[in-house]
């Protein structure tokens, strides 16, 4: 079918809240990761140059946590995979999460704007590799043989998020923008709803979150509750009768 005849796309921004009920902590809620760990010691380029072992150990532990047997996609991930399979138009997940739970649930169009688990990058030659091995300051780049230059392929504070050009194209052609499980405190993701309002003026914007965020007023509709309850119900509603009131 020619693209002109497809229904408008659905752009879904997800954050840590969508994976919370899978057993992965959020960042800013009470008890969240950044309330327990000083992000400046593990999630900045300065931290990496200051103490590579500390930064690499933190991400080695994170990767092991993601691979623990009790971590699995939940009903919200499954509902978004169902939406992609059953909706006639394009459904794109833009996730801030580095876990792979959307893919494990069956979603295929997933953009990891903050990088993803299972990839490392060489700071010397910039080549990206699939790897599940622990990194140490003695790790050797398989491409350029530099020592101690491999890091997780994850966007740290102060670094540019990935795939932004593609993301803005998806936002500008969407008819529905969903923001799920994100506090809206970290840019540029926090600004996506405003970008949709300005550049896809007819699009509907919906916030699905445990509680209201500071971006609340930019959404046409708000649905509050645990993602495993509200996302499957909303997806069922969209598939049954669309997103207009």
Which residues are identified as catalytic? 114
Interaction between residue 83 and ligand APR (CB under 6 A): no
Report the residue closest to ligand APR, judged by CB: 17
For ligand APR, the closer CB: 142 or 225:
225
Number of residues that bind ligand APR (CB under 6 A): 24
The least CB distance from residue 135 to ligand APR, in Å, is 19
Binding mask 51-70 for ligand APR (x = CB under 6 A): --------------------
CA distance 97 to 149: 24
The answer to the question of residue 107 lying near ligand APR (CB under 6 A) is: no
Could you say which of 10, 12, 20, 102 contacts ligand APR (CB under 6 A)? 20
Q: Is the peptide bond before 188 cis (omega within 30 degrees of 0)?
A: yes
- By CB under 6 A, is residue 183 in contact with ligand APR? yes
CB of 8 to ligand APR, least distance (A): 25
Binding mask 194-223 for ligand APR (x = CB under 6 A): ---------------xxx-x----------
By the rule CB under 6 A, 227 interacts with ligand APR: yes
Residue among 8 and 32 whose Cβ is closer to ligand APR: 32
């Amino acid at each position: 079918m020619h693209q002109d005849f497809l229904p408008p796309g659905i752009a879904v921004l997800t954050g840590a809240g969508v994976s919370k009920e899978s057993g992965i902590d959020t960042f800013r809620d009470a008890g969240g990761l950044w309330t327990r760990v000083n992000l400046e010691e593990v999630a900045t380029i300065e931290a990496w140059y200051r103490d590579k072992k500390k930064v690499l150990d933190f991400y080695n532990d994170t990767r092991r946590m993601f691979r623990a047997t009790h971590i699995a996609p939940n009903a919200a991930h499954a509902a978004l995979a169902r939406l992609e399979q059953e909706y006639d138009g394009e459904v794109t997940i833009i996730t801030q999460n580095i876990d792979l739970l959307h893919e494990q649930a069956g979603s295929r169009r997933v953009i990891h704007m903050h990088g993803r688990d299972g990839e490392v990058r060489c700071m010397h030659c910039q080549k990206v590799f699939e790897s599940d091995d622990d990194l140490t300051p003695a790790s050797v780049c398989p491409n350029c043989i530099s020592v101690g230059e491999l890091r997780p392929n994850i966007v740290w504070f102060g670094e540019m998020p990935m795939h932004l050009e593609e993301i803005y194209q998806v936002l500008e052609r969407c008819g529905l923008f969903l923001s799920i499980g994100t506090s809206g405190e970290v840019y540029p993701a926090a600004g996506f709803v405003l970008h949709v309002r300005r550049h896809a003026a007819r699009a509907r914007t919906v916030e699905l979150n445990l509680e209201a965020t500071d971006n609340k007023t930019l959404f046409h509709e708000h649905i509050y509750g645990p993602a495993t309850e509200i996302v499957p119900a909303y997806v069922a509603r969209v598939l049954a009768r669309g997103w207009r009131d």
